[in-house]
Chains A and B, each alone.
Chain A
Amino acid sequence: MSQFRRRLSEISRYPSAVAGLFLIFGLIVLAAYALISIPYDQAVSLWRGGEAVWAENPRNAAPAWLNLLPGVHLPTTMVIDSRALAESKEIVDAGGIKELRIALPVEYTFDGFPKEVNLFFQGSFAGAEPYVSVAWLTPDGREIPVADRSVKAQDAIRLGQDSRLTRRLGNLSAEIGLFAQPGSGQQPVPLKGTYQMVIDALLFEPTDELDAKLVVYGQLHGLAGTDHRRRDITVALLWGAPVALAFGFLAAVGSTVTTMVIAAVGVWFGRWVDALIQRITEVNLILPVLPILIMIGTLYSRSIWVILNVVILLGIFSGSIKTYRAIFLQVKESPYIEAARTYGASSLRIIFRYMLPRVAPILVPQFVVLIPSYVFLEATLAVLGLGDPVLPTWGKVLEDASSNGALYQGHYYWVLSPAFLLMVTGLGFSMLGFALDRIFNPRLREL
């Protein structure tokens, strides 16, 4: 065992191994953070999404750190809530009918236009629905009527979808038209300054209450942007880490250790046992893994545990059995194994205590390099639409991106961030694995 430890300390001599370890460590930290800050149930429900969860996120927003780039000053989401700004409400009483004026100020200093503008209402009323009249005041003194209608207890006015407003704004969609500099014509430029959304509400009972929330959706959001369902991609990126690592690790462990044991058993007992194992392996080699997984995913279950088990099962009788077999055949002829037989070692003991330890040094680097292959396998399945239905994984993000035409629409961040993480995983494990290979297999080393 001290041989093992000695070899581990040699890792420090290989810069690529150190870099690899660094990356892997980073991924583990990421995974740990994800598991701690967003517990499983919460992650699943977040990812299921829905209006309630992600209402305040813009759709398809780019990462917010883009604003750090020089010359870029794109809008981030602003939420102006009357509940938060007490001074926004002004009650103008008029007999039995309450007249309420809510003025929501918007400081707009950005170079670009918001993605969307939505006005949410929340109120409680005994009888008839309140009637509101909404107007938009620009910094340069214009007043643009926005809407005149009654509102329900939970209501929303999506200004961008109002075609009359669009026409009123000179055929500019609300999110642009409300903020455009007048006269900027074909290439609208945002007018910077303080705007106000003024809501004049008529409440028909004295006990009626009404609150309004203006959400000016930015073009940028969060660390990684959002997707088509307004979900913060960071959640998926975070959660993808433990899923990827766990899947890769378990699959790699499950298959390599089992493969090694089976190869040893076959070699030791020889004859029909060996022949049987080899024939099973040969058949298994021909079986196409991905189509089988697709078949199972489509017809049976997409649960990640099922897929993991099938992957391990298919991976046990892989080509490595032949490699291990070649090595074990040599080891079997070693004098020390013969000696063990003469002092009475049983077959089981010889396999586990005398043969497997010889192979373990070769196993470790192979195992390390195998982990990213399984990570990619899982991502591949997800991209093909067969990922686990509830878990947010990197592959899932890629799948959403591709089925929503991310690249066509210029949402590069949607594709790049999961791809980047997958790449980092592959890179980290490969670098470590190759360095380990050189450490554990001195023949590959150069003097």
Chain B
Amino acid sequence: MSQNGFLKVEELRLHFRTTQGSVQAVDGVSFSLRKGKTLTVVGESGCGKSSLAKAILRLLPRNVETYQGRILLGQVDTMALSDERFRKEVRWTRIALVPQAAQNALNPVIRVAEQIAEPLLVHRRELSREAIYQRAREAARIVGIPADFLERYPFELSGGMRQRVTIAMALVTRPDLVVLDEPTSALDVLTQANLMNVLKRIKREYGATFILITHDIGTASELADEVAVMYAGQLVELAPAERFYNNPRHPYSRKLMASVPTLREEKALEFIPGQPPSLIDPPKGCRFADRCPLRFAKCDAEPPSVEVEPGQYVKCWLYEEGYHG
């Protein structure tokens, strides 16, 4: 993995125990991210990307079976911290989360300003209330919430505005890293574009570091410096944005790219037949092999992650033999 890691995730694993077996939601994910850059994690439903967000933030359900790996934030391995220390020192203070469909999870009986201030009230109790609300107003301004909206209740705001509130809540403690899980999937096209503008601005003006999790490759390109493609709990490709969008390497990435209709260029659309494997008892070899048009004998074994070019990793046997697509 690349040097100068500000965030370095190594072999992160998260398995859940269910009545039907062990769900291997995150199965050996490794990547690194430099400060001020954005990693977009792209994948379809059931690939484990939401579980990845939870794993990074240690928001584990009761039936967790395996939770291992290393998450290095600067010098600190957050995985090694106790739950209480993690809660105090990392969650929401150094890493914040904007969860999926968060705009619907706002507390309907608490005003917007108070909700934005809440993380500070919990984690920075030494600040005065004045200072806290000052910071809340600041966070609201950064995401573009007009001042007079602050005294309103969530139901009075539109979906796009509410989503900005949740982003403000994530930013108010000035964390080192913000993880956004499908922040725009429930929003209209124009609202989505607006929100991506906001995130871009925050990134440029404040040097924020984001991990954006989405199923939408198009939206992902709005913010991405690095792109990671997730399939069946594993990262099958990790590459800088430009190289990824110009020339995706992994067969799955290619098929995914080919299945997304584009507005501006004409292309023949393809789809991937079949379904992703279940995360319970996934296949032993390459997990995409069943649906891969380029499958060959070696694919029965789990492929290694090959660095095809500096900073670009592909988990595929094709690249081990120097195959360049």
A69 close to chain B: CB less than 8 A: no
Closest B residue, CB atoms, query A13 = B19
Residues of A close to B62: CB separation below 8 A: 446-447
Closest A residue, CB atoms, query B17 = A447
B18 close to chain A: CB less than 8 A: yes
Task: Tell me, in angstroms, the Cα distance from A447 to B16 when the chains sit together.
Answer: 10
Interface size of B as a range:
under 10
Least CB distance, B126 to chain A, in whole angstroms: 38
B82 close to chain A: CB less than 8 A: no
> In residues 32-84 of chain B, which contact A (Cβ within 8 Å)?
61-63
Least CB distance, B25 to chain A, in whole angstroms: 14
Determine chain B's interface SS by DSSP, over half rule: loop
Task: Tell me, in angstroms, the Cα distance from A447 to B18 when the chains sit together.
Answer: 7
Task: Tell me, in angstroms, the Cα distance from A446 to B62 when the chains sit together.
Answer: 9
Closest A residue, CB atoms, query B18 = A447
Least CB distance, B195 to chain A, in whole angstroms: 27
Task: Tell me, in angstroms, the Cα distance from A110 to B142 when the chains sit together.
Answer: 96
Least CB distance, A442 to chain B, in whole angstroms: 11
Task: Tell me, in angstroms, the Cα distance from A228 to B90 when the chains sit together.
Answer: 76
Least CB distance, B242 to chain A, in whole angstroms: 42
Task: Tell me, in angstroms, the Cα distance from A420 to B163 when the chains sit together.
Answer: 59
Task: Tell me, in angstroms, the Cα distance from A447 to B62 when the chains sit together.
Answer: 7
Task: Tell me, in angstroms, the Cα distance from A277 to B62 when the chains sit together.
Answer: 44
> In residues 395-447 of chain A, which contact B (Cβ within 8 Å)?
446-447
Closest B residue, CB atoms, query A446 = B62
Task: Tell me, in angstroms, the Cα distance from A413 to B129 when the chains sit together.
Answer: 68
Residues of A close to B61: CB separation below 8 A: 447
Least CB distance, B103 to chain A, in whole angstroms: 20
Task: Tell me, in angstroms, the Cα distance from A446 to B19 when the chains sit together.
Answer: 11
Residues of B close to A447: CB separation below 8 A: 18, 61-63
Task: Tell me, in angstroms, the Cα distance from A446 to B63 when the chains sit together.
Answer: 10
Closest A residue, CB atoms, query B19 = A447
Task: Tell me, in angstroms, the Cα distance from A68 to B239 when the chains sit together.
Answer: 85
Interface string of B10-26 (1 = CB under 8 A from A): 00000000100000000
Residues of A close to B18: CB separation below 8 A: 447
Closest A residue, CB atoms, query B16 = A447
Closest A residue, CB atoms, query B61 = A447
Residues of B close to A446: CB separation below 8 A: 62
Interface string of B245-280 (1 = CB under 8 A from A): 000000000000000000000000000000000000
Task: Tell me, in angstroms, the Cα distance from A447 to B20 when the chains sit together.
Answer: 12
Closest B residue, CB atoms, query A447 = B63
Least CB distance, B51 to chain A, in whole angstroms: 15
Least CB distance, A445 to chain B, in whole angstroms: 10
Closest B residue, CB atoms, query A10 = B19
Least CB distance, A409 to chain B, in whole angstroms: 56
Least CB distance, B63 to chain A, in whole angstroms: 4
Residues of A close to B63: CB separation below 8 A: 447
Least CB distance, A99 to chain B, in whole angstroms: 89
Least CB distance, B16 to chain A, in whole angstroms: 8
Write the residues of chain B forming the contact surface with A, with a CB cutoff of 8 angstroms: 18, 61-63
5 residue pairs from A and B, CB less than 8 Å apart: A446-B62, A447-B18, A447-B61, A447-B62, A447-B63
Write the residues of chain A forming the contact surface with B, with a CB cutoff of 8 angstroms: 446-447
Chain A to chain B: the 5 pairs with minimum beta-carbon distance, closest first: A447-B63, A447-B62, A447-B61, A447-B18, A446-B62
